[in-house]
Amino acid sequence: MAYDNTNRGAMWPNIDRMSEKHPDFNGSLDVDGKKYWVSGWRKKEGANPAAPIITFTIKVKEDIGVAAQGPASKPSSTSDDGFDDDLPF
């Protein structure tokens, strides 16, 4: 029997964090079969005590596009990229 990950998600420490603007955590989420990216920021030192422990954003995986697929992916030569030009390069 295959494991069903529907309506579940997980976040891990962001090992690629390069600045304070980058999330402290990242991961993925499945809601009713639709895939999402999740990014989270932990409560900063000196923040209001009523502030949440973690704030987060959720983005649909299809909306992120090529950047989410990583550098190893290459665009398909048969895909329609929406450009209508005849440049030879």
pLDDT over 50 (residue 75): no
Does a structural domain hold residue 13?
Answer: yes
Closest CA to 11 of 25, 30, 23, 31: 25
Does a structural domain hold residue 73?
Answer: no
Does a structural domain hold residue 77?
Answer: no
Does a structural domain hold residue 1?
Answer: no
Does a structural domain hold residue 76?
Answer: no
| pLDDT at residue 73, rounded to an integer | 40
pLDDT over 90 (residue 9): yes
Does a structural domain hold residue 26?
Answer: yes
Domain hosting residue 34, numbered range: 9-67
Domains identified in the chain, total number: 1
pLDDT over 50 (residue 12): yes
25-31: strand order across its sheet: 9-13, 25-31, 34-42, 54-60
